[in-house]
Amino acid sequence: MKLTKTLLATSALVMSAGAASAIDLTFVSWGGAYQKSQLEAYAKPYMEAHPDVNIIWDESSAEAVAKLRAMNEAGNLTWDLVDVDAADSFRLCDEGLAMEYDPDELLAPADDGTSASEDFGAQIVNACYIPQIVYSTTFGYRTDLVGDTPPSNICDVFDLEAYPGKRSLEKRPINNMEWALLCDGVAKEDIYDVLATDEGQQQALAKLGTIKDQVIWWSAGADTPQLLADGEVVMGSTYNGRLFSAIAEQNQPIGMLWDAQVFSFDGWVIPTGLPEDRLAVVKDFLFFATDTQRLADQAKYISYGPARASSAPLVGQHADLGIDMAPHMPTDPANAQNVFYYNFEFWADYRDDIDAKFQAWLAG
């Protein structure tokens, strides 16, 4: 009796699986809270609407460029859609590893009919990059370790007298060099011109040198929140979403220093060489996942700004905590009084050169 039932159930399963001709897609993202927000806002609703599509997540975005290049050389592409930092999308696009696309053909227009290319605007930084969020790299500080006047200016990071104690900075030149020049008296609009010269680079390193022995250098986004929580540092830079979760979700005594935050983008790229059938599903998913509502939905789960102008008014409350997300967005007018935009062109050219000098400076 029991056996017959089992057999029946099994054959039913096999038949239904055969009928649906399901497709497995591998999406690559960063893991953690960010990947969870993508799962909740995009993947789950999409899979509900398309039961035949199954999305598998791979947390390899940090090595996406190298891995895609290796896959391309081996002729064995196993990824269908990759979430990358906009800076990495330049490399992928330059190397021909990411597919170029037409925004108005691939992406949905805004609800009011504004075309996708206009709605995303300058965020489409190159021909391969499909924008998703705006995030910022900014500072958090320990509210209990900075005295009565908490830091409000980026140059407080370089002020060891007013704010003694260790700071954590990312172990790469990007952002740090700009902040250093800004606090060394270089006008904001001149920064990249200065930084393109050897003297300018030495000037930035010299400014960083004034706090070098008080810096703990981080290489993972989770380091600074942890160092702040342990009281190892009084202030440190990291991604604003990491600080948000330390403050709002873990109730750590941490405050935000938004001054001179650096905006950067994160979005999708489609690897070149996808077979037609998979490419069709990926395009369908992207049309859905980058529409105005979906991008606004993602902000329920993480404090990163939606890339579409039309999504901003729709940003609501945190899905679990019920707090308003807008004031925690880097794009909120109160937070965005003084911002930098990640200079992709500049860093694509100077990243390797300045990084070599930066690392030599660090090691020396």
Partner 1 sequence: MSDTTDTGPMRAADGTPLKKSLARALRRQKLRALALIAPLLIFVLVTFVVPIADMLFRSVENQIVSDTLPHTVRLLSSWDSSTGETPDEPVYAALAVDFQAASEEKNHTKLGTRLNYENPGLSSMFRKTGRGADDIGKASTKRFTDLDPAWKDGATWAALLGSDDWLADMAEWSKDDGRQPRFSPRAEAASALPMTSDVYTAFARVARTENKKSAVETKPWPVLYTALEQDLATASPESLSAVNGASAGLLQAAGAAVPGFEPISYKDAFIDIDKGWSEVDSWQTIQSYAARYTPGYFLNAVDLEKSPEGIQQRPEQQQIYLMLFWRTIWMSMLITFCCLVLGYPVAWILANLRASTANVLMILVLLPFWTSLLVRTSAWKVMLQQQGVINDILVWLGLVDDGSRLVLINNQFGTIVAMTHILLPFMILPLYSVMKTIPPTYLRAAKSLGATNWTAFWRVYFPQSVPGIGAGSILCYILAIGYYITPELVGGTQGVFISNRIAFHISSSLNWGLAAALGSILLGAVLLLYYVYDKIVGIDNVKLG
- Judging by DSSP bridges, how do beta strands 235-239 and 130-142 pair with one another? antiparallel
Cα distance from N-terminal residue to C-terminal residue, the chain: 77
CB neighbours of residue 189 within 10 Å:
7
Q: What residues are paired with 261 via a beta bridge?
A: 339
How far is Cα 152 from Cα 293, in angstroms, rounded to an integer?
Answer: 34
Pick out residues in 49-78 that bind partner 1 (CB under 8 A).
62-63, 65-66, 69
> Is the CB of 256 or the CB of 354 nearer to partner 1?
354
The piece of 137-145, 237-245, 261-269, 353-361 that touches partner 1 (CB under 8 A) is 353-361
Beta bridge partners of 133: 266, 306
Minimum distance from residue 271 beta carbon to partner 1 (Å): 14
Nearest distance in Å: CB 347, partner 1 = 10
> Least Å distance between CB 348 and partner 1?
5
Cβ proximity to partner 1, 38 vs 60, nearer residue: 60
Q: How far is the CB of 349 from partner 1 (least distance, A)?
A: 5
Q: Which of residues 203-262 bind partner 1 (CB under 8 A)?
A: 205, 216-217, 219, 230-232
Distance CA 364, CA 356 (A): 12
Residue 350 within binding range of partner 1, rule CB under 8 A = yes
Taking a C-beta distance cutoff of 8 angstroms, is the pair 136, 264 a contact?
A: yes
Question: Is residue 161 near partner 1 by the rule CB under 8 A?
Answer: no
Q: Of the candidates 95, 102, 111, 249, which one interacts with partner 1 according to CB under 8 A?
A: 95
* Closest distance to partner 1 from the beta carbon of 143 (Å): 17
Question: Measured between alpha carbons, how far is 270 from 286 in angstroms, rounded to an integer?
Answer: 10
The two structure tokens encoding residue 279: 């490419």
Nearer to partner 1, 244 or 350 (CB): 350
Name the residue nearer to partner 1 (CB basis): 99 or 262.
99
DSSP state of 249: I
Name residue, tokens 């010299």: 206
Residue 45 CA, distance from chain mean position: 22
User: CA 53, 57, 62: angle at the middle one, nearest 5?
Assistant: 145
Give the shortest CB-72-to-partner 1 separation in angstroms.
11
Here the tokens at position 230 are: 């342990």
One-letter identity of residue 324: D
Residue of the chain from 40, 118, 332, 355 that contacts partner 1 (CB under 8 A): 355
143: left (phi over 0), alpha (psi -120 to 50) or beta: alpha
- For the bound state, the minimum distance from the C-beta of residue 118 to partner 1, rounded and expressed in Å, comes to 21
Strands 339-341 and 167-170: unpaired
Cβ distance to partner 1 smaller for residue 54 or 202 = 202
Q: Is 328 in the site for partner 1 (CB under 8 A)?
A: no
| x-marked contacts with partner 1 along 172-201 as a string, rule CB under 8 A | ------------------------x-----
Backbone φ and ψ for 201, nearest 5 degrees, come out as -65, -45
Applying CB under 8 A, the span of 42-50, 87-95, 175-183, 289-297 interacting with partner 1 comes to: 87-95
Q: Is 339 in the site for partner 1 (CB under 8 A)?
A: no
CB of 23 to partner 1, least distance (A): 24
Nearest-angstrom CA–CA distance, 347 and 345: 6
Radius of gyration of the chain measured on its C-alpha atoms: 23
Q: Is 348 in the site for partner 1 (CB under 8 A)?
A: yes
- Return residues touching partner 1 (CB under 8 A): 62-63, 65-66, 69, 91, 93-96, 166, 171, 196, 202, 205, 216-217, 219, 230-232, 345, 348-357, 359-364
